[in-house]
Amino acid sequence: MDWEAAIRAELDPMVPYAPGLRASEVRERFGRDTILKLSSNEHPCGPFPTALRAMEAVLPRLNRYPDGSARALRRALCQHLGAADESLVIGNGSNELIRLIAQVLLRPGDEVVFAWPSFVVYPMVTQMFGAIAVKVPLTADEIHDLSAMLAAITDKTRIVFLCNPNNPTGTIYHREKFERFLAEVPGHVMVVVDEAYFEFVTDDRYPDALDWFDGDRPLAVLRTFSKIYSLAGLRIGYGVLPAPLAHAVDKVREPFNVNTPAQVGAFYSLGDEAEVERRKRENQEQKTYLYSAFDRLGIGYVPSETNFVYLRTERPVEVFEALLGEGVIVRGFGTAPALRVGVGTPEDTRATIAALEAVVARLGGV
């Protein structure tokens, strides 16, 4: 087999997604008993108790295929969101929905506009289907430059991805700018708003994109159960899409794409708004605690509306390695001058600060 000829040329520039280091790898390398993994934006508290009990109850029935239409979860989401059933799509994480939307809309030579740095899956799916990535730099405050993104749109643009709050910077654009953007974006462009972290937002200027969803406008809103609901290991997310796009996505998604425990866990998580609010408050408290330590240690950072913080550093590789030596795994971006640090429990926060104090003392700063 001539593999170079056999494999699609569009995949040549792509590299496989590189997940963060696992705790076991760092434990083996540094010989530390306690490792703090803060690289993947996982919520530290685990699934909601009611959801956990419900998932445990269905384990003996895993010899049966899951509900391929996720009917119970769809009904619950319709009630929770006030959305129409024909607009809902359930996915194997919101990642799958990003790929499926790209699969049904993109043709070779089309353009996809997104901010940068932002979620790494956007350029991946763009390349996957032979489209052209148009990366628009964030503002100096690490926020989406919606005016520049509008200016980057051409007749070839098929999709604009907006990540709000943005990963990895944790920033948001505000309601008035989003409203202006939607009023000016051409009708041939599908606007896909990725709101994976929206439950953590405390800024009342945040634009919940569902407020602008009417089923006619080319607007899709994606969300996930991986973050505040702590179901990252089950991979389940959902999208609210115009009905024709939802129907097209249903044509290309895998049969039984969302497993039974994931559907059950998501269903029983939706009813516990008190726990969502508790987790949101604790996350904000721990961020405030971290900010005070960053200020004291002279560490630059970007105020975040998520469960992670974007740290500024001119020595990212050195600081990343030094934190590993202290038993703390953060997310690095190669030589880009930043690191992403997840927000955990109060115990995690104290350990993070202690590790940063040790690194600053050893390196003389970050």
Lowest mean pLDDT among 25-29, 139-143, 273-277, 355-359: 25-29
**The pLDDT value given to residue 11:** 86
Q: pLDDT category, 264, cuts 50, 70, 90?
A: very high
Residue 141 sits in the same domain as residue 260: yes
What does the alpha-carbon distance between residue 323 and residue 299 come to, in Å, rounded to a whole number?
14
Side chain identity at residue 98, one-letter code? I
pTM of the model: 0.95
Q: What is the CATH number of the domain that holds 196?
A: 3.40.640.10
Adjacent-strand bridge partners of 157: 111
| Res. 19 pLDDT band, cuts 50 70 90 | confident
Residue in 172, 228, 166 with CA at minimum distance from that of residue 202:
172
Q: Which domain holds residue 89?
A: 49-269
CATH number of residue 9's parent domain = 3.90.1150.10
How far is Cα of residue 205 from the mean position of the Cα atoms in its chain?
20
* Per-residue pLDDT tens digits for 96-134: 999 999 999 999 999 999 999 999 999 999 999 999 999
pLDDT at 31 over 80: no
Helical axes 93-105 vs 121-128, angle rounded to 10°: 30
What would the two tokens of residue 139 be?
């503002």
- Tens-place pLDDT, residues 300-314: 999 999 999 999 999
Q: Are residues 121 and 265 in the same domain?
A: yes
Numbers of helices and strands, H then E, in the chain: 13, 13
* Residue 211 CB contacts under 8 Å (≥ 6 apart), including other chains: none
Distance between CA atoms of residues 284 and 187, nearest Å: 38
DSSP string, 108-134: TT-EEEEEES--THHHHHHHHTT-EEE
Query: Domain end: 248, 269, 290, which one?
Result: 269
pLDDT band (50, 70, 90) for residue 138: very high
Alpha-helix runs per DSSP H in 253-305: 260-269, 273-297
Mark which of 269, 301, 333 sits at the end of a domain.
269
pLDDT digits (tens, 9 = 90+) for 45-58: 999 999 999 999 99
Whether residues 106 and 171 share a domain: the answer is yes
Regarding whether 73 and 191 lie in a shared domain, the answer is yes
Residues 127 and 150 in one domain: yes
Q: How confident is the model at residue 20 (pLDDT cuts 50, 70, 90)?
A: confident
What pLDDT was estimated at residue 269? 96
Where residue 362 falls among pLDDT bands split at 50, 70, 90?
very high
Same domain, 69 and 36: no
Q: What Cα–Cα distance (Å) separates residue 168 from each residue in 176, 204, 326, 364?
A: 23, 21, 23, 26
Is the pLDDT reported for residue 271 higher than 90? no
The proportion of the chain whose per-residue pLDDT surpasses 70, expressed as a percent, equals 100
Residues 234 and 98 in one domain: yes
102 in the same domain as 208:
yes
Reported as a pLDDT band with limits 50, 70 and 90, residue 355 is very high
Considering the chain, what is the average pLDDT of its residues?
95
Q: Choose the final residue of a domain: 234, 253, 269.
A: 269
Does residue 123 contact residue 168 with C-beta atoms inside 8 Å?
no
Same domain, 118 and 237: yes
Number of domains the chain contains: 2
Quick check: 2 pLDDT over 90?
Answer: no
The radius of gyration computed from the CA coordinates of the chain, to the nearest angstrom, equals 21
Same domain? 39 vs 80: no
Please report, rounded to a whole number, the percentage of residues in the chain having pLDDT higher than 90: 89
**Would you state the pLDDT for residue 35?**
87
Q: Which residue has the higher pLDDT, 343 or 35?
A: 343
Q: Examine the domain organization and report whether 160 and 305 are in the same domain.
A: no
Does 32 have pLDDT greater than 80?
no
Report pLDDT for 9: 86
pLDDT level of residue 27 (50, 70, 90 thresholds): confident
Would you say residue 13 has pLDDT above 90?
Answer: no
Are the C-beta atoms of 142 and 166 separated by less than 8 Å? yes
Say yes or no: 112 and 245 in one domain. Answer: yes
State pLDDT tens for residues 175-194: 999 999 999 999 999 999 99
Q: Please compute the mean of the pLDDT values over residues 345-362 and round it to a whole number.
A: 96
The DSSP annotation for 185-236 comes to: S-TT-EEEEE-TTGGG---TT---GGGG--SSSSEEEEEESSSTT--GGG--
Q: Are residues 46 and 230 in contact, defined by beta-carbon separation less than 8 angstroms?
A: yes
C-beta separation of 244 from 221 below 8 A: no
Range with the poorest average pLDDT among 22-26, 198-202, 262-266? 22-26
